[in-house]
Amino acid sequence: MTQAIGTKAIERSKRVFRILLVSILSVLIGSGFTLDYTNQALAKQAEQAPIASATETSSIATVTEPEPTPTTPATPDPVLAAIQARQTASGCNLHVDPAVAVKSLGTCKLLLVGDSLGNNLGYGMIPQLKGYKSLKFVLKAKASTGLSNSWFYNWETNLKSYLRTEKPNIVVVFLGANDRQNMKVGGQILTFGTSKWKTAYAASVARMTKMATDSGAYLLWVGLPNCKPYNYNKGMELISAIYAKTVPQNHGARYIELHNFTSDARGNYTQYQTVNGSRLKTRGDDGIHFTANGQNVIGTYAITKLATLFKVAIKSNYPRVVTK
């Protein structure tokens, strides 16, 4: 009897122990035992995982900036270099120090060809270059001429002749005032402003430009001014656009515009400009040509552009500067 009671007591103790053990485990689980286990497992996985290489890391985290495009050093223009060499060989030192240019220029010649506007420019440039005793100015401008009416006066033929006889170091071209008309090419009449007309006119400009630079001269082609007659001015703008596109294709030539230079601050035609601080009449009553004051103004402009664009040592003796 006593033994049976002892056995039952032991069984009860075991059951109590199992209950207590289950309770303790439940408490442990509820208090984060599983979370700790999970963290330990993740930490163990992290330890076993391969570490990304430095290359892999930078490819993900670093934004690679594009490398700067290498700049190519400017090379001397072979056409300009050849022209300069020919001029130096001929005794014309256009590239000497401007401070001593009057005495050291050598023997140089400037040829200006054009129409009546060319005459306007020539009359403005000649007196402003008188200080250069060894610079000869040759003006070969003829009124009513142009590239459209070669039947009347063929500028390509005559320029070739002038280049051969005068052997200029600088050629200035200022024409186009009479070119708002049809052209006759190979027996065919080309209507002004059409694509065929533009092509033929540009070809004539290109031939004259090449003719001058091939002779060993710099060439400066002057665009047409802002003119008063509306329809006429539109034609001048069309022609100047051809000059602006065609002339620079020859490295020994430069084009300068005159439309904006002869406009007011708003871009409109003006007959009066402020010159050296004084308000002067610079355009003729026809709204196309220039007065004596205007001739001096565009003369200074052309001389300044020659010096700047070709780095030649000439300047105006008495500049006429326009302010707007």
> Which is it for the CA torsion 7, 9, 11, 13, positive or negative?
negative
pLDDT tens by residue, 216-236? 999 999 999 999 999 999 999
CA 180 from chain centre, in angstroms, equals 28
Gyration radius of the chain over CA positions: 43
In terms of Cα–Cα distance, which of 139, 137, 76 is closest to 105? 137
Mean pLDDT score across all residues of the chain: 82
Distance CA 159, CA 92 (A): 21
Strand segments, DSSP code E, in the chain are 108-114, 135-141, 170-174, 183-185, 188-190, 218-225, 253-258, 272-275, 278-281, 322-323
Express as a percent the part of the chain with pLDDT over 70: 73
Q: Confidence band (pLDDT; 50, 70, 90) for 59?
A: very low
Residue 182: CB atoms within 10 A of its CB come to 14
Residue 185 has pLDDT above 90, yes or no: yes
User: Residue 298 — φ and ψ, nearest 5°?
Assistant: -70, -25
Place 40 in a pLDDT band, splitting at 50, 70 and 90: very low
> Are 201 and 166 within 8 A, CB to CB?
no
| pLDDT tens digit sequence for 244-267 | 999 999 989 999 999 999 999 999
Ordered by where they begin, the domains of the chain are: 80-323 (3.40.50.1110)
pLDDT in tens, 109-168: 999 999 999 999 999 999 999 888 889 999 999 999 999 999 999 999 999 999 999 999
* Cα gap 211→162, rounded to integer Å: 11
Which residues lie closer than 8 Å to 67 by C-beta, 6 or more apart?
Answer: none
The Cα–Cα gap between 243 and 95 comes to 27
- Residues 168 and 13: their CA atoms lie apart, in Å, by 130
Closest CA to 289 of 222, 227, 203: 227
pLDDT digits (tens, 9 = 90+) for 64-119: 444 545 555 556 677 778 888 888 888 888 876 555 544 556 789 999 999 999 99
Task: Report d(CA 149, CA 319) in Å as an integer.
Answer: 35
Q: Region of 176 please: left (phi>0), alpha (psi -120 to 50) or beta.
A: left
Return the pLDDT at 261: 97
- Out of 25-29, 187-191, 276-280, 307-311, pick the least confident: 25-29
First to last CA, the chain: 134
Q: 50-69 b/e with 16+ CB inside 10 Å = b? A: eeeeeeeeeeeeeeeeeeee
Beta bridge partners, 189, equal: 184
